[in-house]
Structure 1
Amino acid sequence: MADPVAITAPTTVLIKVIHCIVGIMTAPLPHPTGLAYHRMGHCTGRHRWWRPLLGTLLFLGAYLVLSLVLFALSYGVGAAAGLRELPDGGHDFGPLANTALDLTSIAIALPLILLAVWWPGRRPPGTLSSVDGRLRWRWLARCLLAAVLPVAVLAVTAALLPDSGSDSGEFGAWVGWRSFLTSLAVLAVLVPVQAAAEEYVFRGWLTQAVGAFVRSPWFAVLPQAPLFAAAHGWGTTWGFLGLLVFGVVAGWLTIRTGGLEAAVALHVLNNLLGFGVAAAVVDGLSSDETAADSPWQLALADVATTLLYAALVLWLARRHQPRRLASPVASSPAPAPAPATTGRTVGHHGESGQDR
């Protein structure tokens, strides 16, 4: 008969590990004063100058490795299926599958950047979401509602603009409801994660990495904007400037509202619009154009709607007042040791009782 101790020991260890992880994820922010979003690297008191640098290097290395693994897997499947090879070295799985692979290759950055915050950042991953140490779902919902009008204005403006004469020309005819709804279902799952991954890397990690060394929010916000624009490739000057403005405005809203919700909301709806329009026509998802390739008319419309969204979010922020600083944790002197005759111990939070 099996030894009960041998059976229950691994279970006990697993429970302790899960309890430790949950404790790390939900731990309060032990800092005596409030911190702005870009200074959240100091929220636990464990900040060292090398942590943001090491975290950035480890993130880039891990992202490169996972990207290569994803490419190798897709290449192997494509080669085994005898699919046509594309100029970039991959295989043609079809417009929707190719788009899904591209979105996934960006989305994998999200868990990696959260791991960089946890280690070597040595702080709760939720501190990358907001100064509350978590994603504020109610505030995110309000920002999503605020983004509907600007995104709708952008869609109408883009439809009314004359043909830009891009290389892609006309995409083609309507794909049909079945293909369109299938594409929308896939995009609805992947686009939010892809857009959030970009926000957590640029407006999140990079802003806080720079903010760990500087107090000015502008010095923390500005470096990530050109990097964000450059990550989309160089298309047109106007397209680059449009992305640059988006990065600056999204970064400022992040500081002003104390979290990434406002930036994520606009990014998600904006990308859903772009991919949704492309999915509606034949070969629309086959285009490799991005916002970096925008003509000047569309870039200016994008800038105008971004500023409109910022005005709406600031109006909402005045009404609902999302927290802009990390909650101060009251600092109190350490309690005196309890007399040995009481037979009681002082718990972790200063409460009497046995500390388990």
Structure 2
Amino acid sequence: MTAPLPHPTGLPYHRMGHCTGRHRWWRPALGTLLFLGACLVLNILLFALSYGVGAAAGLRELPDGGHDFGPVANTALDLTSIAIALPLILLAVWWPGQRSPGTLSSVDGRLRWRWLVRCLLAAVLPVAVLTVTAAFLPDSGADSGEFGAWVGWRSFLVSLVVLALLVPVQAAAEEYVFRGWLTQAVGAFVRSPWFAVLPQAVLFAAAHGWGTRWGFFGLLVFGLVAGWLTIRTGGLEAAVALHVLNNLLAFGVAAAVVDGLSSDETAADAPWQLALADMVTTLLYAALVLWLARRHQPQRLSSPAAGPVSSPAPVVP
């Protein structure tokens, strides 16, 4: 596989499709079609496998056609069906895209682990603020005692282990698909970062289903802010960090109560109070990341070429 070639002036994140000089108009379209087809096939195989195991074990059949393996196992299957997208989208970058999969992580051609850790630390405060705020919002159950029954430490710890293993991969998969592949696929044709960020944000919100108007708008804001931070910092680390902690919080709270993981509600179903609190904490996180970016200066453009390569002078005897 050809490594990324330095661009004469360096490329922003959304223009990384041009980093090797092999970009063609059909490569993003072909990569998207192959990715969607592979996702569909693998999810059908996963469903068939789980259905066969459930039928052989004589488990209760669910309305969607699957079998009830229990809240934790059902959640693990749902997370796995999304996590499958991560290796597939990297394969789409490598084969139809004809460039290094690392160019989807950042303009540096790799995932910048030190910057990722800094972003994770920056996300702790906004996520903690959101947790406390959500507990005191109307209809949260804090005042009326409507919280579900505690599942017990054994079940809760087992759930946390499963979630800790799968949620980071599931959240990263969504970021690599929406903030990564889609942003760069659109950015291959447009120079404006906002035209590259807007389509993925709309598709990200739509992929979570239509619940409430405020829930959809909250997801749209998340997609716009995460996409803007991706281009502003030159990589997916900031978006992945916030997405991972948000999802760990949501699934962790659900795992603490009986039948919490069995709920079909997503962020798209959020009431206006929770959606507004989520948007405020997302903007707070963006401010913290920008402050860190000014201090640590993560690479925003791909490395420029050192200069034009001149032809060697002929050797005269």
TM-score (norm 2): 0.95
- 1:272 deviates by 0.2
Distance 1:226 1:86 in 2: 31
Q: Is the 8 A contact 1:131 1:258 kept in 2?
A: yes
Q: Is the 8 A contact 1:164 1:295 kept in 2?
A: no
Aligned residue in 1 for 2:210: 234
- 1:195 deviates by 0.2
Q: Is the 8 A contact 2:135 2:142 kept in 1?
A: no
Distance 2:176 2:166 in 1: 15
Any idea what SS the aligned residue of 1:284 has? coil
Q: Map of 1:340-355 to 2, 5 A cutoff? A: none
Aligned residue in 2 for 1:317: 293
Q: Is the 8 A contact 2:4 2:99 kept in 1?
A: no
Distance 1:217 1:157 in 2: 33
Change (3 A) 1:77 1:167: farther
Q: Is the 8 A contact 2:34 2:92 kept in 1?
A: yes
Any idea what SS the aligned residue of 2:149 has? coil
Q: Is the 8 A contact 1:225 1:247 kept in 2?
A: yes
- 1:336 deviates by 5.8
Aligned residue in 1 for 2:11: 35
Distance 2:279 2:132 in 1: 15
Superposed CA deviations along residues 82-138 of structure 1, whole A, max 9, x for unmatched, are 100001111000000000000000000000000000010000000000000000000
- 1:176 deviates by 1.1
- 1:163 deviates by 1.3
Change (3 A) 1:180 1:324: same
Change (3 A) 1:150 1:195: same
Structure 1 residue 336 corresponds to structure 2 residue 311: yes
Superposed CA deviations along residues 251-302 of structure 1, whole A, max 9, x for unmatched, are 0000100000000000000000000001111111111111000000000000
- 1:169 deviates by 10
Runs of 4+ in 1 over 4 A off after TM superposition: 164-171, 331-339
Any idea what SS the aligned residue of 1:286 has? coil
Change (3 A) 1:283 1:338: same
Superposed CA deviations along residues 127-164 of structure 1, whole A, max 9, x for unmatched, are 00000000000000000000000000000011111216
Change (3 A) 1:36 1:279: same
Return the match for 2:180 from 188, 204, 214.
204
Q: Is the 8 A contact 1:171 1:284 kept in 2?
A: no
- 1:33 deviates by 2.2
Superposed CA deviations along residues 190-246 of structure 1, whole A, max 9, x for unmatched, are 000000000000000000000000000000000011100010011111100000000
User: Share of identical aligned residues, percent?
Assistant: 90
TM-score (norm 1): 0.85
Q: Is the 8 A contact 2:126 2:282 kept in 1?
A: yes
Q: Is the 8 A contact 1:168 1:287 kept in 2?
A: no
Return the match for 1:265 from 236, 241, 244.
241
Aligned residue in 2 for 1:69: 45
Distance 1:334 1:175 in 2: 66
Distance 1:62 1:92 in 2: 26
Change (3 A) 1:333 1:298: closer
Distance 1:110 1:83 in 2: 30
- 1:31 deviates by 2.4
- 1:166 deviates by 14
Distance 1:212 1:166 in 2: 48
Superposed CA deviations along residues 44-76 of structure 1, whole A, max 9, x for unmatched, are 000000000110111011111111111111111
Aligned residue in 2 for 1:111: 87
By relative contact order (CA 8 Å, sep 6+), the higher-ranking structure is 2
Distance 1:164 1:269 in 2: 20
Aligned residue in 2 for 1:137: 113
- 1:178 deviates by 1.2
Distance 2:49 2:20 in 1: 40
Q: Is the 8 A contact 2:4 2:20 kept in 1?
A: no
Aligned residues: 314
Any idea what SS the aligned residue of 2:191 has? coil
- 1:177 deviates by 1.1
- 1:79 deviates by 0.6
Distance 1:67 1:50 in 2: 26
Distance 2:145 2:207 in 1: 24
Distance 1:170 1:220 in 2: 43
Any idea what SS the aligned residue of 2:261 has? helix
- 1:170 deviates by 4.3
